[in-house]
Structure 1
Amino acid sequence: MIGSIKKLAAGLAVCAMLAGGVVAGAARAEASPQVGDVVGQVLATDIEAQVNGSAIASMNIDGLTAVVAEDLRSYGFDVAWIPQRKEVAIVPVAGKPVHPHDVGSRQELPVGQKIGEVFFTDIRATYNGESIRSFNIGGKTAIVLNDLASFGKLDWNEAARKLFFIPEPAGAERRLMEGLLAVEEQEAIKLSGIAIGAEGVAYEGANVGVVKQGMPFLSVEWIAGKLGYEAQKDENGAVRLTDGNYELTLHPGEKQAERSWFGLPLQPFEQYQAPVLEDGLLYAYQVDLKDMLGYETVWSPETRDLDITYRTYQVEDYGIPESIDNYDYTVRMVGNLSGYDFPMILAENRINGENRAYAISSMTLNDREGLKELYNYSYISNTRTDIGLNELEVRVEVGRRPLYIKKFQAELTYRNVKPEVDTSNVSGSFVGVSGVNPSQAYAETAGSTFTISGTVTNDVTGSLSVKVTREDNPDETVGTFAVPVEGAAFKLDVPLPEEPGVYRITLNSLLTFPRGTLNTPVAKWYVNKLAQP
């Protein structure tokens, strides 16, 4: 939560949930609350909270001073969301610098004004591994500062209306996890020697499947029990599997399998073969089960035995970026993994509700400084963004089994986008630029030209050019111009059309790669050409 208490109030307008079984007194109900039930209110407060000597945004929940746990990432703590444990883990980190947020004025909102609601949840918070009560608000988790007294020094100044918390010296060493996802293998469940015959499938002497037209189908309830899923069958023979977060429902005779994550529907899985119901048992094609449940297989054609290895994982979210200021969104992950069917990370975007920008993902041996001994693999995934509303989704999956999903919206405007385009993921030879001017992407002028300049960052044979287009019709080019480069600097007075309107000025660099050449954008400006006075 960066910014004033008004920004907090805006954020709390989003659906929120309460964790830890603590409810606001005014909203206690006789019946046991269910996840998503409103059980309290978040109120504005005049109490200033300080953590590690710096002010942090605070609120009143049930008469107590609370702060957003995720904000503590900027105050000397690692904070990780761990979906497999339904836990927000807070750990003080030795040597992690404090970068306090701008919390604004305590007088921005009247004391006691409602700024959000508290909802019930089964998510818990921990501090150094010990459970503390928590409130999930606006997609974030709030904790009570008074509950941290046993973990450090807590002081209250009545006259100044200030509450101070200084944690005990941190035992955890800094691991440079900020902004990363981390995935770690937990357990490997092995089912060896599944015998696939001409008409049936057996395991340890028991029949566990059938064979249809040469294809093995496994009992859905059997595989669920072996891999740690709960299975429930309805009166029509459909079976619902769940591991607590991921839910999968298979129907006899239907190729589409319904899926959800934390109760939110996912795109159905289209099976190659529809499950079959025989003698009251549901059987699914083994290849489909492998994809849906994300396990590895080894098949021996000599013995006709199938070996299955199902690996469980834990994902930790240390605060992946949820804002954008460029034409590219990038998320990174490290992993401690074995086997050969690895989890993958995917970042996808829907731009202005229409254009779909898909992920470009890669995985390499980890060479991140300070993390090489802890994680053996490093991942990166990026997707294109553009001016307007960007609906971003980050997923970690093994096969089609989700391990982590996060969805959020980020708006990119002429005024908050940087003119320089991130070219770190561009492959090939091209002229890079830096220190471009104007340093703001949006400008207004009644003049006939718009001056751009900057520095060339590499000694590469190539060229720079400018393309001018109308923003309301970007496919129509108004003009193109060569950009002169002298030494390490470039400068051009870009001619502007006489007609008023918003024009996009794109600085392109000639990109050379094995298959040919093309222009790649390295900077963009948006010029509002005003009518002559």
Structure 2
Amino acid sequence: MISWHKTRFLIVGACLASCLTAVPLNTHVAAASPEFERALHNPKIGDKIGNVYATDIRAYVNGHLIPSLNIDGYTAVVAEDLRSYGFDVAWTPDQRRVTILPRQDKPTEPIPAASPSEQPIGAKLGNVLYTDIETYYEDQAIPSYNIGGRTAIRLNDLDKLGDLKWEPQKKEISFQAVWKGQGEMKEAPTPLVIYQRQEIKVPAIQVQGVSVVSEGKQVGQVLDGSLRISLAFMAQALGYKPSKANAWGCGQETICFDNGSYGIMVDPRPLKQGGSSPLNASLFWMGGEEGKHELQVTAVDTPLDVLVEEWNLKELFGYSSTWEPETRTLNIVYVDYAVDDFGFPKSLNNYYYTYRATGYLDGSKSLLPSFTVKVNPGALGYGGSMGLIGETGAHRYKGVGGLSEYRYDYEKLYNLGSYEQEIQVSAGMRILFKQNLSYELTMKDVSPVIDYPDPFSGGEISRITFDKPTGGYTRTSGQAVSFHGKALKKASNELKVIVEHQGYGGGFEKVDHFDVPIDGDAFSFEVKPQADPRYLTRVTVQSLISFPRGTRMGDVARFYIEKATEEP
């Protein structure tokens, strides 16, 4: 089983003449260290092949300053940061592949570049390790390396793929992408793109009395009326390979298979020879255990194999099966799904967020991948949905045609606080993608207007903006705070305002509420904050929400007011 590799990547740039004192000042691209060059001849994963150094070089990508560091004389930038500089960056876990795609129409949102390292220039900060990650700029393979669990490539390897410039007097390196079109995807991708590659059909499985046979070989038995099939046969027929001993807990007496990202481990030792009982299969994703699944299992005399209830195998591997009673034949179809991770946001600045994925799939298959989002502590969920977009069979992705486009949405409404999200894509119990995200919403950073999607699954709701105040947090020494805004869309001709005061212990208690008319498209009101500067005042603006079965009120904006001590 391949170990998990976190999706934070580095691009290593052209060698900078003044990175290290040993680098000649008149060179554009200097040689790497001898250690670096020697290690490249016959490297192994994890071998040290270079060093990370502190640098004062300033790096620019597509005209914008980007955080950088130095690796053996080459400037480095984080590859996922390129998502803010006019690139899509995809991580495909099961292929261990990073793909960087320049996109001309993608807005740039430059990241504030960190100040130069406090370490002396040239001070060693870490090691460069060899990695088996494959990195591509469009369809061009680029050498890659590992820096503290992050993938790195050298920017000078992009020299022929764009415009690379080094200005030694300014200590600046810049890379300008060349736009060649957007490929198969006509619009910016969602954070996840789920797609299918090949379809695997298991050789027909026939029931002959109590024997279960495929291509003349016995692969199972009928026991007490239930169809049980060899775990080893099914895994290998679906393209899984035996995992090496000591990989994620596998030993000499455990049954372990994986497909490069998803793995299964069963320990048959609790079974007596020929006995049957439930056993737990441990499920793995990128080397980490992600839960267990109970199987109905029968022991066999073949080393490292067991017979498993067919419906358990169907759950475990996520395939489709049909039974032909006339010929007593079981037909199994397994679709090889994959996921490209284009990146969820690192932070949220709104109370409402829609987790979204796109699927390029053959809708005729009975088993399509599912997309789930779990939040701890729980955020109010408006549910998940999956829908067909446009014409069936009209799409192509990564060389596979005849696919339909599906849109997965999972809507969550947050409050202030810290949240842990678990994102998962799966087919049955087969994990296709899994990621944990951490978000924190603070009153000083979050937008006051709740950005519900349009259309909103909860119903028709007023869409409003505020001219004053523009932020969700106000600190004032005045007697009242004025609110002015406009309705972009009205579900009714008024809004409701709820005023709450914070008390000892941090909780809020309702102290006032009133209706605010919308005059044309404008509205305004005032709120007096509580006098005690130790406690906040919370102002919630609500709108009528109408849906087929009735109406209700829902929050559309939240504000927090802190009373400042008046100056003498």
Residue 298 (structure 2) pairs with residue 276 (structure 1) = yes
- 1:104-140 CA deviation, whole Å, 9 max, x = no partner? 5557764235666655543221223333233445665
Which residue is 2:498 aligned to? 467
Q: Secondary structure at the match of 2:290?
A: strand
Query: For 2:85, which of 64, 67, 75 is the aligned residue?
Result: 75
Q: C-alpha separation between the residues in 2 aligned to 1:386 and 1:39?
A: 47
Residue 450 (structure 2) pairs with residue 421 (structure 1) = yes
Q: C-alpha separation between the residues in 2 aligned to 1:65 and 1:169?
A: 23
Change (3 A) 1:119 1:389: farther
Query: Amino acid of the residue matched to residue 399 of structure 1?
Result: G
**More moved, 92-101 vs 507-516:** 92-101
Does the CA-based 8 Å contact 2:85-2:107 persist in structure 1? Answer: yes
Which residue is 2:349 aligned to? 325
Residue 511 (structure 2) pairs with residue 478 (structure 1) = yes
Which residue is 2:543 aligned to? 509
Does the CA-based 8 Å contact 1:251-1:275 persist in structure 2? Answer: no
Change (3 A) 1:189 1:359: farther
Residue 213 (structure 2) pairs with residue 191 (structure 1) = no
Deviation at 1:39, TM superposition (A): 7.1
Which residue is 2:420 aligned to? 391
- 1:286-336 CA deviation, whole Å, 9 max, x = no partner? 222212211111223444322111011232122332221112332322222
Q: C-alpha separation between the residues in 1 aligned to 2:205 and 2:7?
A: 46
Change (3 A) 1:530 1:144: same
Residue 462 (structure 2) pairs with residue 452 (structure 1) = no
Which runs of structure 2 are paired with 1:303-342 in the superposition (5 Å)? 303-338=327-362, 339-342=365-368
For structure 1, list consecutive stretches of 5 or more residues without a partner in the other structure: 1-13
Which residue is 1:5 aligned to? none
Residue 161 (structure 2) pairs with residue 151 (structure 1) = yes
Which residue is 1:11 aligned to? none
Query: Amino acid of the residue matched to residue 310 of structure 2?
Result: Q
Which residue is 1:435 aligned to? 466
Query: Amino acid of the residue matched to residue 388 of structure 2?
Result: L
Deviation at 1:402, TM superposition (A): 1.5
Q: C-alpha separation between the residues in 1 aligned to 2:11 and 2:286?
A: 15
Does the CA-based 8 Å contact 1:132-1:147 persist in structure 2? Answer: yes
Q: C-alpha separation between the residues in 1 aligned to 2:466 and 2:223?
A: 65
Q: C-alpha separation between the residues in 2 aligned to 1:24 and 1:494?
A: 69
Does the CA-based 8 Å contact 2:11-2:77 persist in structure 1? Answer: no
Instruction: Work out the percentage of aligned pairs sharing the same amino acid.
Output: 34
Query: Amino acid of the residue matched to residue 71 of structure 1?
Result: D
Which residue is 1:366 aligned to? 389
**More moved, 517-526 vs 467-476:** 467-476
Q: Provide the aligned C-alpha RMSD in A.
A: 3.6
Q: C-alpha separation between the residues in 1 aligned to 2:251 and 2:346?
A: 44
Which residue is 2:112 aligned to? 102
Query: For 2:522, which of 468, 485, 489 is the aligned residue?
Result: 489
Query: Amino acid of the residue matched to residue 313 of structure 1?
Result: Y
Change (3 A) 1:310 1:357: farther
Query: For 1:249, which of 256, 262, 265 is the aligned residue?
Result: 265
**More moved, 465-474 vs 211-220:** 465-474
Q: C-alpha separation between the residues in 2 aligned to 1:215 and 1:275?
A: 11
Q: C-alpha separation between the residues in 1 aligned to 2:382 and 2:544?
A: 24
Which runs of structure 2 are paired with 1:202-241 in the superposition (5 Å)? 202-231=213-242, 238-241=254-257
Query: Amino acid of the residue matched to residue 433 of structure 2?
Result: Y
- 1:261-289 CA deviation, whole Å, 9 max, x = no partner? 111221223x2x43221224401222222
Change (3 A) 1:147 1:114: same
Deviation at 1:360, TM superposition (A): 2.7
Which runs of structure 2 are paired with 1:109-128 in the superposition (5 Å)? 110-113=120-123, 118=128, 121-128=131-138
Query: For 1:85, which of 95, 118, 131 is the aligned residue?
Result: 95
Change (3 A) 1:311 1:482: same
Q: C-alpha separation between the residues in 2 aligned to 1:93 and 1:522?
A: 34
Change (3 A) 1:77 1:29: closer
Query: Amino acid of the residue matched to residue 333 of structure 1?
Result: A
Change (3 A) 1:215 1:38: farther
Query: Amino acid of the residue matched to residue 561 of structure 2?
Result: V
Deviation at 1:219, TM superposition (A): 0.6
Which residue is 1:349 aligned to? 375
Query: Amino acid of the residue matched to residue 396 of structure 1?
Result: V
Q: Secondary structure at the match of 1:386?
A: coil
Deviation at 1:73, TM superposition (A): 3.0
Deviation at 1:246, TM superposition (A): 1.0
Which residue is 2:271 aligned to? none
Query: Amino acid of the residue matched to residue 294 of structure 1?
Result: G
Does the CA-based 8 Å contact 1:345-1:396 persist in structure 2? Answer: yes
Q: C-alpha separation between the residues in 2 aligned to 1:27 and 1:440?
A: 54
Query: Amino acid of the residue matched to residue 263 of structure 2?
Result: E
Deviation at 1:447, TM superposition (A): 4.5
Does the CA-based 8 Å contact 1:86-1:122 persist in structure 2? Answer: yes
TM-score normalized by structure 2?
0.79
For structure 2, list consecutive stretches of 5 or more residues without a partner in the other structure: 1-5, 13-31, 269-276, 398-403
**More moved, 247-256 vs 233-242:** 233-242
- 1:158-212 CA deviation, whole Å, 9 max, x = no partner? 2222223344553555733355322221100112532246634222232212233
Change (3 A) 1:478 1:160: same
**More moved, 389-398 vs 67-76:** 67-76
**More moved, 337-346 vs 70-79:** 70-79
Query: Amino acid of the residue matched to residue 434 of structure 2?
Result: I
Q: C-alpha separation between the residues in 1 aligned to 2:312 and 2:86?
A: 46
Which residue is 1:54 aligned to? 64
Query: For 2:142, which of 132, 151, 154 is the aligned residue?
Result: 132
Q: C-alpha separation between the residues in 1 aligned to 2:258 and 2:68?
A: 37
TM-score normalized by structure 1?
0.83
Q: Secondary structure at the match of 2:489?
A: coil
Query: Amino acid of the residue matched to residue 450 of structure 2?
Result: V
Q: C-alpha separation between the residues in 2 aligned to 1:149 and 1:94?
A: 19
Deviation at 1:88, TM superposition (A): 0.5
Q: C-alpha separation between the residues in 2 aligned to 1:487 and 1:396?
A: 46
**More moved, 429-438 vs 179-188:** 429-438
Q: C-alpha separation between the residues in 1 aligned to 2:419 and 2:228?
A: 42
Does the CA-based 8 Å contact 1:18-1:119 persist in structure 2? Answer: no
Change (3 A) 1:327 1:299: farther
Change (3 A) 1:213 1:294: same
Deviation at 1:52, TM superposition (A): 3.3
Query: Amino acid of the residue matched to residue 387 of structure 2?
Result: T
